Structure 1
Amino acid sequence: MREIVITSTKDDVILEQLNVCLEGDLTDNWGERVLTFDNALGKGVVRSISFDWGVSLLDCDVMFNEDVKIVFQTSSVTPIEFVFISKGSFKYNADDTEEIIDLEQYQNIILAPKRYSKKTFMFPPDRQIKVNFIRILRKEYLKKKNNNVTFLNELLLSVFNDENANLPYKHKGSFSLKIADEVKALNAVYDSGIMRTLSLEGRLYLILAMQLMEHHNFENKVTLPESLSKSDIKKIHELSQYIVDNIANPLSVVILAEQSGLSPKKLQLGFRVLYSKSVNEYIRQLKLEISRDYLKNTELSVSEIVYAIGIKSRSYFSKIFSEAYGILPTEYRKHLLKKEL
């Protein structure tokens, strides 16, 4: 495992210390620092930009070729970090004493360790990670006119005020595609100069507001249609196994919603979050994968396979199989038999 130690809370210094190990290229444009690397350790882009009142953005799109541990160990007060992962997942630990926790894709995450504490982020190999850290230095932000932090709930207000009784603080909230869409828009800002800076700052504050609203709703047990809870995610995982076990039976959205106890809208959202597909797209792909396995490992006829995966029309099956794999089912089996000879 490769370990990278960061000893500063300043974004520009963080990139310099990362680059000591990553050995990439550092550039500066319009107040942004961008670190690009592509070598034996991995490849990716890390960028940072700081705004007034102690607010900054650290944006990462990386993939490492081995386990990488990034350790933040500073003599400065650690910032509050609003974390949102658009792709992949990784692990987090504070002070080597807390349990290691999973930080998951599309989940709203807030991290506020104790003063001067050690933070460790553990990145797995061969997995693309896209993550945004909105970092807030509490003392600086509280100097901001009309910061309105008093409107936060009591717990998060105490975190902003750096009250040790409620630190360290971790929030792993709902899964939200609405926030994911805004993060995608943030990463798609291609303007230059002042237009770029203003666009990034505006979108950053919009995402921050949405993350604070998610925290408020989570703590008050308010369920929004565009968010998923941990129990919702568990139900989707269980439903995926139900689909495999009942692949020959009717599997409409209505039937699956009744089976899972989720609304059809929540069901579709869950499949988009977990599998990046609609329910029907997921089922069709699974039917095709199972059919390909049958063609390869059994002597069932194509008609028998069509029946076994719950498709009524052999011609329709041949059509979608060909669209997916570029070959008809019968030709696929012939190709497999030739390879065995």
Structure 2
Amino acid sequence: MLCADQSGGEVHEMYCMSQTKPTDAEACNTHACEFLWITGEWTECSVTCGQGYQRRLVSCSEVHAGQDNYEYGHQSSSHCPGTPPENYQECDAGPCPSRETWRMGIWGLCSVTCGEGWMERTVQCVTSEGEASNRCPMSARPEARKACGNPSCHLPTSCREAQGMTGFPVDGEQILNIQGRALKIYCAGMQTDHPGEYITLMTGEAENFSEVFGFRLNDPTECPSNLSRREDCNCRRDYTAAGLSTFTKVRLDLSKMQIITTDWQFASTREGRHVPFATGGDCYSAARCPQGRFSINLSGTGFHVAEQTKWISHGNYAVADIHKSQDGSRVTGMCGGYCGKCTPSTSSGLLVRVT
């Protein structure tokens, strides 16, 4: 603020002392400041198909009213009213095209612990959603089976060979190479020139027995009590071929992979006569009412009864009701006639295979 003469030139303030000096400042913009949330444009979806997300810029800015538009000043998120707008949202870019691919499982164990064998894994064609499909190119199918082995292992293949490798040990369990598998075999007679191989029956005598039933109906044309066994029947107990034998080990002929059913070294005859392994019979009835029984359980031994093993009936009115488990480890039979029995076929014998 200046003191001026009539021509407008600046003079000393003493010439203006008789006049009231005008104010040189006054208040302006006395209304409260306004802050608003400002949002930017959403970005494109983060994926080209399926579920994704989008982002945008969100800020709190001071707003000034200009002549034709709004101007934005400094930012301060603490001054904006309410909850800030979302800066993130999900988006759907539409269904993805289905793509088939081969899915592989892990390799299983080698089929042998000694020598050359094979291992397998699952190979499945699936869509991108994990559903089974048959549209994968077969030319790109991964292998589901491959060779494996342990050429460095040298296990004996018989008790005789084990005897030669270790001198003359006592009878007992030995690990032998049976058809490429390392299996536990009981070697008996190791102090002799001809030791024998035996399979130790892990389930014991309760599930490894053979019986020829000793009771005979007074009227052999009947089949009383719906095939059930009752000793208070109208019968007599005088069948001289009857017997019950149980087994803890059975002799194995390695050259034929056949169980020798008439080896009694590890068998006990509880009553009557010796009954060979896998044999049952009776002289009970002529009306298809078998009472003789046998049971084989090779579970845990590494062996199973071969599919080629068949049972045949012998004698008068003989029948054989044979049941095998799916894996061949168990076989049970009800056999008999008047008089009759069942045994493994003489053409094949009781063949076993490595599991």
TM range (shorter): under 0.3
Q: TM-score, normalised by structure 2?
A: 0.17
Which has the higher relative contact order, 1 or 2, with Cα contacts under 8 A spaced 6 or more apart? 1
Q: Which has the larger radius of gyration?
A: 2
- Give the TM-score of the pair, scaled to structure 1: 0.18
More strand by share: 2
Which structure has greater helix proportion?
1
